[in-house]
Structure 1
Amino acid sequence: MSAPLNDWLARLERQHPIAIDMGLERVAIVAERLGLTQGPIAKQVVTVAGTNGKGSTVAMLERLARAHGSTTASYTSPHLLRYNERLCFDGVAADDATLVNGFERVDAARLAGDPVSLTYFEAGTLAALVAIADVRPQLAILEVGLGGRLDAVNVIDSDIAVITTIAHDHADFLGTDLEIIGSEKAGILRQGRPVVLGSRQLPASVSQRIETLGAVAHWLGRDFDHAIGEGGDWRWQGQSAEGARYHLDSLPDPGLPLDNAAVALQVLRLCGVMPQPAESRQAMATVGLAGRLQWVGNWCFDVAHNPHAAHYVAARLAQRSAPRRRIGLLGVLKDKDAEALIEALAPVVDAWLPVGLEGPRGRSGEELAESIARRGGETLSVASSPAAAVDWLAPRLAPDEEVLVCGSFLTVAGALEALKAGAGDEGPGATKEVKVL
């Protein structure tokens, strides 16, 4: 009898001595044993790397492809509420049985011969690839977890590579030199194959990699672009692989960055699909991505955890009618630049509710409150966790106030679960610490 999914996930967290152990040597050995490198896992594979915008690009490309009749698989990370979110077929999260089957086959392969130790992410990636290969959809979209060159998804050769943005993040693993970061992310490129570049400014190292490989580059602002129209709609201009120009008008705002929406349409065209007006409008009107400017009543949830993403969130909120007060429920891991996040969000946040995050990378709410004070912000209280913060804030929130929940996937997940579970009722908050200032 197969072990439950949660048992597998707990086991995977324990089986490798290092949580993040970058490199393709171990993954490549197991992938070969699984037959993943012996043939395509899908008719076409798109790999998406970048500092910000990967998730929204994947979501819009997947939705566009389905709207045009293609079967799809997508693999993303991290998940927000359930591990199953990481692997989707035709927009539906994989069931437990599919994931467990993948984990069992990966485990058997890593032990077939000299045992190979895999990290949680590596085992999960291989299990997802096995499941995708079983289905062989028309389009598989793989999101890079960290970096690019040494990320586990890079064991698969993509037909089209995408680089969204390049900014500072994950400094412990990628460093702070943008040229080096660019080179790492450009490691997903393949000889002579297309790459879609979703930023108007990228480090020179990306161009150097393109030239070295003879990759065919499609640049935002040069080969494809978007423009805002009247009434809040927008226009896309792009081109085919042969250079023929196309455009779509009167596209609805997807609620996600238009740079990434333009990338998704350009990738779709390079996949050989002609974006149709009705289907493209339907996709843009119905696409959604949990934790990205996701509204639940007057609560806004966004997983922005670096300055680049925070500036985008602030710009989008600034376009809304200002509430009487907006409260920033903020939880930030210790290896992130909290003060830069606070500075980016300060123009649209009137008061703060800092929260603690657990784990080896966790940062206390008290420490975050000190950062807020240094930036001149007002702190209402300090909570021991996102759930505790929701418990305290929900019954006190006025109808003409808003809450922005951000800073980490952990912050958004904890607060979203608490809010949806009815946090703020008597009882749950009684066991969680909130210090009112």
Structure 2
Amino acid sequence: MSQHTPSHSLHSSLQEWLCYLEHLHNQEIDLGLARIGQVATRLDIRFDFAKVITVAGTNGKGTTCAFLENALLGQGKSVAVYSSPHIERFNERLRINRQDCDDQAFICAFVEIEQARGDISLSYYEFTTLAAFLVLMARKPDVIILEVGLGGRLDATNTIDADIAVITTIDLDHQAFLGDTREAIGYEKAGIMRANTPVVVGDKNPPQSLLDHGNSLEAEMYLRERDFFVSGAGNTAGQGDGINWQWRCGQTLLPELKLPSIPQDNVATALMVLALLEVELSGELVNGLIRQTRVPGRTEMFHLQSDIMLDVGHNPQAARYLAGVLAQKRRQENYRRVFAVVGMLADKDISNTLKPLAEDIDAWYLGTLDGPRAAKAQEIARVLPPEQENINCFDNVTQAFKMACNNAKATDLILVFGSFFTVAEIRRLLV
């Protein structure tokens, strides 16, 4: 047994452990399955007791996972969801039957990993993912839903062979790690596929690289607009000519579905997964799930002196969706002005993330996030379209938010977006 210092022992707090893990490996993001695979083998990680669903994609992973979770809990299954990053508490990363994992379960798992890894260096994400796996092996839920952290092929979650793989959307994000084209990124996401195993692809125009990889494995691909179909309304809540939409797969038709608060495309993708799991789908069941499924930090509304919307959108595709929601919300609520509170990471495509929203923003309140990856508020200001005049820069997003609140009237909307870190910082002030 290895010797533990007091900074990382069974008697340490969860926060002490997490501080230790942050400094254990020399790179924050270090993709690859070799290190985690060796330790997983030593720990004998296996999920043969559960049905495993792995969800990858540029956007829409969290909402797809949440819809599946609600649906399967409603079928009487015990359901675990592993996701990252968290918004407020680390414990949010693993929930079982909607209950966040407790500190002690994580600490016991950390101790076991620390003893097993020997001299193998693990990143924070690899270490915490293995801890979640150990907790899941102890709790043995019926269904395990794994949200991929980054990419797919080399993500720590991909040490597990899924019974069903899900790929929501493919777009540009994390280009430094995944490539700078949809074809390159599609290949990385396709890495969660397995031979002769179902994979649901929610992207309406998947890259050829993804299709080629699936065909080479002889994976059972279920593709949007080939195997399942959506018609009516639009992907943004409230868009489209009608108030309802419909979903179809084979002989199953769900004709009068309500508009969800999460992206409609993600509901459609999740319904295909449920069909593969032989859940008996009906309009009444699905509309109940649509009403039930709301995810923190995804177009989440708070009503204080003025209305506040939080969204973790941080790439161009997410911003295009958010722009549609914002435009519709502005029409519905007749907001006089929209103030944007933004903090972003420097390695994001800041210009193309802000551009889709620019015409609906009346004033910008830009803050600098904590950490070495953060973009300075002044750097964000420089890439805003030149016609944007009301731009205010602050040392942090809390200052930016408080000034926006001071200036906003009851008829205004404050939109907070740009990063999980931005939403986490402001959500703590609101909840």
**When the two structures are superposed, what TM-score results if normalisation uses the length of structure 2?**
0.91
Q: Compared with structure 1, are the counterparts of its residues 43 and 350 closer, same or farther at alpha carbon in structure 2 (3 Å cutoff)?
A: same
Residue from 29, 36, 43 that aligns with 1:20: 29
Q: Name the residue aligned to 2:164.
A: 160
Structure 1 residue 270 corresponds to structure 2 residue 276: yes
Q: How many percent identity over aligned positions?
A: 39
Structure 1 residue 361 corresponds to structure 2 residue 373: yes
Q: Is the 8 A contact 1:391 1:418 kept in 2?
A: no
Q: Name the residue aligned to 1:49.
A: 56
Q: Is the 8 A contact 1:369 1:379 kept in 2?
A: no
Q: Name the residue aligned to 2:6.
A: none
| Mean Cα deviation higher: 87-96 or 101-110 | 101-110
Q: Name the residue aligned to 1:425.
A: none
What amino acid is aligned across from residue 181 of structure 2 in structure 1?
D
Q: Name the residue aligned to 2:145.
A: 141
Deviation of 1:139 after TM superposition, in Å, equals: 1.2
Residue from 276, 281, 306 that aligns with 2:287: 281
Q: Is the 8 A contact 2:339 2:404 kept in 1?
A: no
Q: Name the residue aligned to 2:17.
A: 8
- Please give the alpha-carbon distance, in whole angstroms, between the structure 2 residues aligned to 1:248 and 1:135: 35
- Please give the alpha-carbon distance, in whole angstroms, between the structure 1 residues aligned to 2:392 and 2:147: 37
Residue from 319, 322, 346 that aligns with 1:334: 346
Deviation sequence 1:248-306 (CA, Å, 0-9, x none): 23333221111110111110111222224433222210111111000111110001111
Q: Name the residue aligned to 1:88.
A: 95
What amino acid is aligned across from residue 67 of structure 1 in structure 2?
G
Residue from 76, 80, 84 that aligns with 1:77: 84
Q: Is the 8 A contact 2:54 2:162 kept in 1?
A: yes
What amino acid is aligned across from residue 108 of structure 1 in structure 2?
Q
- Please give the alpha-carbon distance, in whole angstroms, between the structure 1 residues aligned to 2:101 and 2:256: 34
- Please give the alpha-carbon distance, in whole angstroms, between the structure 2 residues aligned to 1:99 and 1:233: 43
- Please give the alpha-carbon distance, in whole angstroms, between the structure 2 residues aligned to 1:291 and 1:360: 23
What amino acid is aligned across from residue 89 of structure 1 in structure 2?
I
Q: Name the residue aligned to 2:154.
A: 150
- Please give the alpha-carbon distance, in whole angstroms, between the structure 2 residues aligned to 1:147 and 1:181: 7
Secondary structure, counterpart of 1:319 in structure 2: helix
Q: Is the 8 A contact 2:310 2:415 kept in 1?
A: yes
Deviation sequence 1:73-96 (CA, Å, 0-9, x none): 000111111111110111221111
Secondary structure, counterpart of 1:15 in structure 2: coil
Q: Is the 8 A contact 2:80 2:145 kept in 1?
A: yes
Taking the TM superposition and a 5 Å limit, the aligned residue runs for 1:63-212 are 63-111=70-118, 115-212=119-216
| Mean Cα deviation higher: 380-389 or 201-210 | 380-389
- Please give the alpha-carbon distance, in whole angstroms, between the structure 2 residues aligned to 1:136 and 1:193: 22
- Please give the alpha-carbon distance, in whole angstroms, between the structure 2 residues aligned to 1:279 and 1:110: 46
- Please give the alpha-carbon distance, in whole angstroms, between the structure 2 residues aligned to 1:109 and 1:313: 44
Q: Name the residue aligned to 2:245.
A: 234
| Mean Cα deviation higher: 307-316 or 411-420 | 411-420
Structure 1 residue 293 corresponds to structure 2 residue 299: yes
- Please give the alpha-carbon distance, in whole angstroms, between the structure 2 residues aligned to 1:299 and 1:204: 40
- Please give the alpha-carbon distance, in whole angstroms, between the structure 1 residues aligned to 2:386 and 2:178: 27
- Please give the alpha-carbon distance, in whole angstroms, between the structure 1 residues aligned to 2:57 and 2:227: 19
Deviation of 1:380 after TM superposition, in Å, equals: 4.2
Number of equivalent positions = 409
Q: Is the 8 A contact 1:226 1:258 kept in 2?
A: no
- Please give the alpha-carbon distance, in whole angstroms, between the structure 2 residues aligned to 1:346 and 1:255: 23
Q: Is the 8 A contact 2:85 2:93 kept in 1?
A: yes
- Please give the alpha-carbon distance, in whole angstroms, between the structure 2 residues aligned to 1:71 and 1:267: 17
Q: Name the residue aligned to 2:424.
A: 413
Deviation sequence 1:349-406 (CA, Å, 0-9, x none): 122111111211111112212222x442123421111111122222321000001111
Q: Is the 8 A contact 2:365 2:401 kept in 1?
A: no
Deviation of 1:411 after TM superposition, in Å, equals: 1.1
Structure 1 residue 251 corresponds to structure 2 residue 263: no
Structure 1 residue 309 corresponds to structure 2 residue 352: no
What amino acid is aligned across from residue 252 of structure 1 in structure 2?
K
Q: Is the 8 A contact 1:60 1:283 kept in 2?
A: yes
Cα RMSD, aligned residues only: 1.6
Q: Compared with structure 1, are the counterparts of its residues 232 and 67 closer, same or farther at alpha carbon in structure 2 (3 Å cutoff)?
A: farther
Q: Is the 8 A contact 2:381 2:391 kept in 1?
A: no
Deviation of 1:101 after TM superposition, in Å, equals: 2.0
| Mean Cα deviation higher: 93-102 or 154-163 | 93-102
- Please give the alpha-carbon distance, in whole angstroms, between the structure 1 residues aligned to 2:109 and 2:74: 28
Structure 1 unaligned spans of 5+:
240-244, 421-437
Q: Is the 8 A contact 2:367 2:396 kept in 1?
A: yes
- Please give the alpha-carbon distance, in whole angstroms, between the structure 1 residues aligned to 2:284 and 2:218: 36
Q: Is the 8 A contact 1:228 1:235 kept in 2?
A: yes
Q: Name the residue aligned to 2:3.
A: none
- Please give the alpha-carbon distance, in whole angstroms, between the structure 2 residues aligned to 1:36 and 1:195: 23
Deviation of 1:231 after TM superposition, in Å, equals: 6.0
Q: Name the residue aligned to 1:217.
A: 221
